[in-house]
C-alpha cells in the first residue's frame, strides 16, 4: 500500500493536476523529447527496487529530478549512437533476454509473465534492454577502445602492492558523491561547485543519511544507487582517494577531494581482507569465427558454421577448417587455438559456452559481439598463475579505473554541448 501511495504521489507531482492527466513532454533533448509516461514508468521500477532492497525512499521531487536527468543522458547517448549507425539486431536482443531470464532461473515465457505480474510492460522493458546494449556499444567505441595502460603504470602498481597482493587482498565498500564541474570551468563555476560540495560534506559528516544525500545531490551516474560503488580493491581507486580511505574506519566520511571531473566525497561503508587464489582452472580451446556483413546475414552465418561443424564431425580437421574459414585472424593461422586461458577472460557469452563443454566437444553455433562462433574445448588443467594473474589483474584494474573516469568526463561534456530544455515544472 505504501508503494502504491508513493507512486500515485509521484504521478500527481509530475502532472501537477491529477494522475490521469494527458501525456506531455517533460524534457526536450536536442531533436528528441522525454515524455511524462516514460518518466512515470521508470520511477515505478525504481520504487519497486527500493522497496525490495528495503531502502528508504528519497523525497519525491528528488527522485523525479534524478530519474529525469538519467533519461536525458540516455537520450543524448542514443542519439549519438544512431548517428554512428550502432544498432542491436533482433537475434542479439532475443539472446540477451533469454540470458537475463536464465540468470533469474526462468525461461523467457516465465520471465515475461513475472514482469507483467509486477506491472511492467514487457515490450517497454525489452526496448530498455536494447537501449542499454546500444549505449554499452557506444561507450566501448568512444571510451573503452581508446583506453591505454602502459607498462610503466602496471609496474608502478606492482611495485607498490605486489608483496601485499601475493598474500592478502584488501577491498573497500565505498559510497561516493560527485559535485560535477563542466569542461573548462570558469572561476565562478568552480566556486559554486565548491560551495555545494562544502554544504553536502557538512551534512554527510554530521550524520545525515549518505544514500539520501547521494540521490539528492550527486551528479555521478550511480546517484540513484545512493552512490554505492560496491567493493573496490586498492588498484580500482585513484591514489588521492586511496590515501584517505586507508586512514579511515568504516562509517567515516572523507574530506572533499577535487579532480578534473569535480568535487568528490566518499564514505567508507566496510572493508575486508581475503587470501588470493593462486591455482586456477585453465581451458585450452579453439574456435572458428564468422562475421556478418551486407552479403552474409545472421541466418547464413549460423548455417555456414553448422555446415563446418558437420564436416568436423564427419572427420575433417578442425584446425584446417579454422585456417580456411575463421575471420579471427589472430588465431586462424594457428588452427583457431586461443592458448591456455581462464574462461573468465573471455566475453561472457563465449566463456559460458566454453564452461558448458566437455573436453573434445564442439559447441553449436552461437553469437557474441564479434560475430558467430563454434568452439571446441580441447583440454582443462589446474595452473598456479600467481604472477601472471597479478599482472593481468593490475592491468584490468587500471584500465577499468580509467574507463570510469573518462566516462564521467565524456558524459559531462556531451551534456554541456547539447541543447536540453527541462519542462518538468512548466505549465502545459
Q: So where are the chain's domains?
A: 2-144, 169-274, 279-384
What is the Cα–Cα distance from 361 to 344, expressed in whole angstroms? 19
What is the Cα–Cα distance from 146 to 142, expressed in whole angstroms? 7
What is the largest distance, in Å, between two alpha-carbon atoms of the chain? 74
What is the Cα–Cα distance from 50 to 275, expressed in whole angstroms? 34
- What are the angstrom distances between the C-alpha of 158 and each of 166, 170, 232, 367, 402? 10, 15, 17, 36, 17
Tell me if domain 169-274 and domain 279-384 are identical in fold. Answer: yes
What is the Cα–Cα distance from 242 to 257, expressed in whole angstroms? 11
pTM, two decimal places: 0.55
The three-class DSSP label of residue 17 is coil
What is the Cα–Cα distance from 18 to 378, expressed in whole angstroms? 64
pLDDT at 6 over 50: no
380 DSSP 8-state letter? E
* Contact in structure between 84 and 44 (CB atoms under 8 Å): no
Centre a 10 Å sphere on the Cβ of residue 365 and count the other Cβ atoms it contains.
Answer: 19
Centre a 10 Å sphere on the Cβ of residue 40 and count the other Cβ atoms it contains.
Answer: 19
Q: What is the pLDDT of residue 202?
A: 93
C-alpha cell at 192: 559554486
**pLDDT category of residue 4 using cuts at 50, 70 and 90:** very low
Nearest to 78 by CA among 135, 130, 144, 124: 135
25-53 mean pLDDT = 84
Nearest to 39 by CA among 74, 88, 77, 4: 74
Nearest to 411 by CA among 78, 153, 131, 173: 78
Of residues 343 and 70, more confidently modeled? 70
Q: Where are the beta strands (DSSP E) in 234-331?
A: 257-259, 262-275, 279-290
Q: What residue has cell string 490521469?
A: 20
As a whole-number percent, the residues of the chain with pLDDT over 70 amount to: 88
Q: What is the pLDDT of residue 330?
A: 86
How many residues are there in the chain? 428
Q: Which of 119-123, 240-244, 350-354 has the highest mean pLDDT?
A: 350-354
141-195 pLDDT per residue, tens: 899 888 888 888 888 877 766 555 444 567 899 999 999 888 788 899 899 999 9
Q: What is the pLDDT of residue 389?
A: 67
Q: What residue has cell string 584490468?
A: 396
Phi/psi at 359 (5° precision)? -50, 135
206-210 mean pLDDT = 89
**pLDDT category of residue 124 using cuts at 50, 70 and 90:** confident
Phi/psi at 293 (5° precision)? -155, -170
Centre a 10 Å sphere on the Cβ of residue 116 and count the other Cβ atoms it contains.
Answer: 12
Q: What is the pLDDT of residue 364?
A: 95
Answer whether CATH 2.60.260.20 is correct for domain 169-274.
no
Centre a 10 Å sphere on the Cβ of residue 354 and count the other Cβ atoms it contains.
Answer: 20
Residue ranges in 210-297 assigned as alpha helix (H): 210-217, 239-245
CATH superfamily for 2-144 is: Porin chaperone SurA, peptide-binding domain (1.10.4030.10)
Domain 279-384, CATH number (from 3.10.50.40, 3.40.50.720, 3.40.630.10, 2.60.40.1120): 3.10.50.40
Amino acid at each position: 500500500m505504501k508503494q502504491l501511495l508513493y507512486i500515485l504521489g509521484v504521478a500527481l507531482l509530475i502532472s501537477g493536476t491529477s494522475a490521469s492527466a494527458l501525456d506531455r513532454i517533460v524534457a526536450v533533448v536536442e531533436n528528441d523529447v522525454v515524455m511524462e509516461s516514460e518518466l512515470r514508468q521508470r520511477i515505478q521500477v525504481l520504487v519497486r527496487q527500493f522497496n525490495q532492497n528495503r531502502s528508504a525512499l528519497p523525497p519525491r521531487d528528488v527522485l523525479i529530478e534524478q530519474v529525469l536527468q538519467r533519461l536525458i543522458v540516455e537520450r543524448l547517448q542514443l542519439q549519438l549512437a544512431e548517428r554512428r549507425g550502432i544498432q542491436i539486431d533482433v537475434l542479439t536482443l532475443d539472446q540477451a533476454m533469454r540470458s537475463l531470464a536464465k540468470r533469474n532461473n526462468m525461461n523467457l515465457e516465465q520471465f515475461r509473465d513475472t514482469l507483467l505480474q509486477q506491472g511492467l510492460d514487457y515490450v517497454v522493458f525489452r526496448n530498455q534492454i536494447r537501449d542499454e546494449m546500444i549505449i554499452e556499444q557506444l561507450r566501448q567505441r568512444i571510451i573503452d577502445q581508446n583506453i591505454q595502460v602502459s607498462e610503466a603504470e602496471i609496474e608502478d602498481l606492482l611495485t607498490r602492492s605486489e608483496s601485499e597482493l601475493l598474500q592478502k587482498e584488501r577491498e573497500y565498500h565505498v559510497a561516493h558523491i560527485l559535485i560535477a564541474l563542466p569542461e573548462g570551468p570558469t572561476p565562478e563555476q568552480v566556486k559554486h561547485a565548491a560551495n555545494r560540495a562544502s554544504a553536502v560534506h557538512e551534512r554527510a559528516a554530521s550524520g545525515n543519511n549518505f544514500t539520501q544525500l547521494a540521490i539528492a545531490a550527486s551528479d555521478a551516474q550511480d546517484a540513484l544507487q545512493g552512490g554505492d560503488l560496491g567493493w573496490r580493491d586498492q588498484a580500482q581507486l585513484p591514489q588521492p582517494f586511496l590515501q584517505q580511505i586507508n586512514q579511515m574506519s568504516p562509517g567515516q566520511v572523507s574530506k572533499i577531494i577535487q579532480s578534473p571531473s569535480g568535487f568528490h566525497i566518499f564514505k567508507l561503508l566496510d572493508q575486508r581482507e581475503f587470501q588470493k587464489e593462486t591455482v586456477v582452472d585453465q581451458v585450452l580451446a579453439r574456435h572458428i569465427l564468422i562475421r556478418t556483413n551486407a552479403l552474409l546475414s545472421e541466418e547464413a552465418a549460423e548455417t555456414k558454421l553448422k555446415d563446418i561443424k558437420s564436416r568436423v564431425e564427419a572427420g575433417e580437421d578442425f584446425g584446417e577448417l579454422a585456417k580456411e574459414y575463421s575471420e579471427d585472424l589472430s588465431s586462424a593461422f594457428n588452427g583457431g587455438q586461443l592458448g591456455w586461458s581462464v574462461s573468465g577472460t573471455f566475453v561472457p557469452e563465449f566463456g559460458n559456452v566454453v564452461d558448458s563443454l566437455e573436453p573434445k566437444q564442439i559447441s553449436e553455433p552461437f553469437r557474441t559481439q564479434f560475430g558467430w562462433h563454434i568452439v571446441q574445448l580441447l583440454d582443462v588443467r589446474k595452473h598456479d598463475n600467481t604472477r601472471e594473474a597479478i599482472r593481468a589483474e593490475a592491468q584490468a584494474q587500471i584500465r577499468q579505473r580509467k574507463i570510469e573516469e573518462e566516462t564521467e568526463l565524456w558524459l559531462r561534456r556531451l551534456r554541456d554541448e547539447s541543447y536540453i530544455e527541462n519542462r518538468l515544472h512548466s505549465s502545459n
